[in-house]
Chain A
Amino acid sequence: MRDPATFDAFYSGSVQRLTGQLYAMTGSRAEAEDCVQEAYARAWQRWDTVSGYCDPEAWVRTVAYRVSVSAWRKAANMRVAHRRHGVPADAHGLSPDYVAIIAALRQIPSRQRQAIVLYHLVGLSVDEIARETGAAAGTVKARLSRGRQALAPHLTEADPAGHERPAPEPPATGMPEPGAEVRCDA
């Protein structure tokens, strides 16, 4: 039996964070919001199963990403959105630095972008990314490495804050080590 109260609590507690993550993956606010809503709707469809997962948020994020790369959905929604709103103004209210990062992320292949976002923003380990994306761990490492290399020139050139930004970097402090034990107790 699906419990609306637990779903509502899960939704309210995670929707903004997940929309932020999807925005980094897609580079479009409208698309991120739409895909995340669709993913939550699907989660509610099978909430009795999804709520039993050790990480329902990862399930919603994966579904939202898959929805975002569906070419049919993308084409149909783009037409509707243009009719309704005209060209979207995604960057309104965001820092120039973040806008520059999102613009740089849009320049690299989507799989590399997904790996970069999952590793650096979401904080997943390489093994966790491999599980979430269905790729081999070696493939994830390669995507991370190549993604960082591809990002470096874009970020260096378009740096509004004037910081020095060395291209490849070690994992951020406080994040799970790639290779840290991941066990689901559910």
Chain B
Amino acid sequence: MRDHPTDLAGRLRAGSADFAATVRPAPPEAIRARGSRRRRRQVLTAAVVALAIGAGGAGTAYASLGQPGRAGHGAPAARPTAGSSAPVSPGRPDIVAVTTRGELVVLDPLSGEARRILVAGGVAGGAVAVSPDGRTAYFAARHGCQDEIESVPVAGGRPEPVTAGVLPAVSPDGKELAFVRQGNGTGCHHLATSGDEVVIRHLPGGGETVLEPMAKPGPPHPVSRLSWSPDSRRLLVSAGPAQDNEGWQLVQVDPATTRYYLAGAAPGNAAVPFPGLAGRYYREGVYLPDGDLLVNQVCCSGLPARVTSTLILEVTPSGQLVRQVAIGFRNRDHTSLDADPTGHWLLYLSGPDLFLSLDGAAPFKLTTGLTAAAWS
């Protein structure tokens, strides 16, 4: 028996090594045989299911894929699109995504398969953004202790560094890149996130506007998502709480008139309200092409806060419900909310699973293994 170290890691490792020495594993041939039997069973089951669907006629392709569900709000209405007649069944654009293995890929929007690998590794999760012309993807890559935003052609090519930061968001007019820069710049972070700044970089010239949380020094308010309004004039900031028992806030900011991103820090900064609802907050939100918002509304109880419900909703900027898109899983984060340029196709990540919804109808799972995604 070895000496016991006093730290948790050392004790766990020592104990686990003792335990591992007592494990008598089955021979590898037995494991391979078990795997081969399993494979044969699955092939047989798939053949039977295919036969059954063929005999039964129109089956719903996504009915069994564990969708989070949706509360009924009647038949979803087609979202009006300014200046264009929306197609009845619009085609899905490609999806640019970050995988859990740190790759940046282009996904086939019908199968969910990776169509192209743009960057083979080292891409940080959180957010990925595509320019309005669909040609350039912006993502964050980790280099040592430094997060750097880089750009890469969606058609494939060499990544180019843009600036230090994370969570890129390109304005619809293509002139501004908003992103988050962590306050202590190039330092390595451990278990604390401190001093996020929202930075707006003017893409043609390269000049920057920096938004602080508020005028006076205070606790850090981490930012989890940035989104531009359709007219490229306002920025929607999903800002985190300083304390565990406080909700996140969704703040509409006019970068031309303010230097702060928290609600109440400047006269023009407005948090998206909850008409008639208490004890809830928006965990993340993005603008839709018609100016409404796609949000993840979370509802908590207890101290520290415990999630009791998580909903994906479309709301107006004044917080009025337009429709409920999905009921999420309480034990998962719902991130990467995004709408395609027509506003018909919505996507979001539920944990590592990518869900799509057409016109707010019941979402279906397209694929899994992702940490960020956006329409191309």
The reply to whether chain A is a binding partner of chain B is yes
Task: List chain A positions with a Cβ less than 8 A from chain B.
Answer: 4, 7-8, 11-12, 15-17, 19-21, 23-24, 33, 37-38, 40-45, 53-54, 93-95, 97-98, 101-102, 111, 116-117, 120-121, 123, 126-127, 130-132, 134-139, 141-142, 144-146, 148, 151, 155, 161, 163-165, 169-172, 175, 177-185
Mostly, the A contact residues are helix
Contact between B335 and A136 (Cβ–Cβ < 8 Å)? yes
12 A-B pairs besides A8-B28, A45-B42, A136-B224 with CB distance below 8 A are A20-B23, A33-B23, A38-B34, A94-B15, A95-B14, A95-B15, A97-B4, A117-B12, A127-B142, A146-B304, A181-B143, A182-B102
Contacts of B331 in A (CB 8 A): 111
Contact between B122 and A23 (Cβ–Cβ < 8 Å)? no
Contacts of A155 in B (CB 8 A): 8
Contact between B20 and A16 (Cβ–Cβ < 8 Å)? yes
Q: Give Cα distance in the complex from A130 to B191, angstroms.
A: 13
Q: Give Cα distance in the complex from A28 to B124, angstroms.
A: 35
B120 interfacial by beta-carbon distance below 8 Å = yes
Contacts of A7 in B (CB 8 A): 28, 32
Q: List 9 A-B contacts (CB under 8 A).
A: A19-B20, A20-B20, A23-B19, A33-B23, A41-B34, A94-B18, A98-B18, A121-B9, A184-B120
Contact between A42 and B38 (Cβ–Cβ < 8 Å)? yes
Contact between A134 and B191 (Cβ–Cβ < 8 Å)? no
Q: Which residue from chain B places its CB closest to the CB of A151 in the assembled complex? A: B8
Q: Which residue from chain B places its CB closest to the CB of A119 in the assembled complex? A: B9
Q: Give Cα distance in the complex from A8 to B331, angstroms.
A: 36
Contacts of A40 in B (CB 8 A): 31, 35
Contact between A94 and B19 (Cβ–Cβ < 8 Å)? yes
Contact between B16 and A164 (Cβ–Cβ < 8 Å)? no
- Contact flag A98-B25 (CB < 8 Å), given A53-B101, A131-B100, A169-B8: no
Q: Give Cα distance in the complex from A137 to B100, angstroms.
A: 12
Q: Mark B97-126, 1 if CB is under 8 A from A, else 0.
A: 000111100000000000000001110111
Contacts of B191 in A (CB 8 A): 126, 141, 144-145, 178
- Contact flag A98-B190 (CB < 8 Å), given A45-B39, A54-B121: no
Contact between A97 and B371 (Cβ–Cβ < 8 Å)? no
Q: Give Cα distance in the complex from A175 to B21, angstroms.
A: 22
- Contact flag A172-B34 (CB < 8 Å), given A12-B28, A98-B19, A127-B142: no
B255 interfacial by beta-carbon distance below 8 Å = no
Contact between B122 and A181 (Cβ–Cβ < 8 Å)? yes
Contact between B371 and A130 (Cβ–Cβ < 8 Å)? yes
Contact between A44 and B32 (Cβ–Cβ < 8 Å)? yes
Whole-angstrom distance from the CB of B224 to the nearest CB of chain A?
Answer: 8
Contact between B9 and A171 (Cβ–Cβ < 8 Å)? yes
Contact between A184 and B15 (Cβ–Cβ < 8 Å)? no
Contacts of A127 in B (CB 8 A): 124-125, 142
Contact between B333 and A136 (Cβ–Cβ < 8 Å)? yes
B301 interfacial by beta-carbon distance below 8 Å = no
Contact between A181 and B121 (Cβ–Cβ < 8 Å)? no
Q: Mark B188-223, 1 if CB is under 8 A from A, else 0.
A: 111101000000000000000000000000000010
Contacts of B121 in A (CB 8 A): 54, 183-185
Q: Give Cα distance in the complex from A135 to B332, angstroms.
A: 7
Contacts of A144 in B (CB 8 A): 191
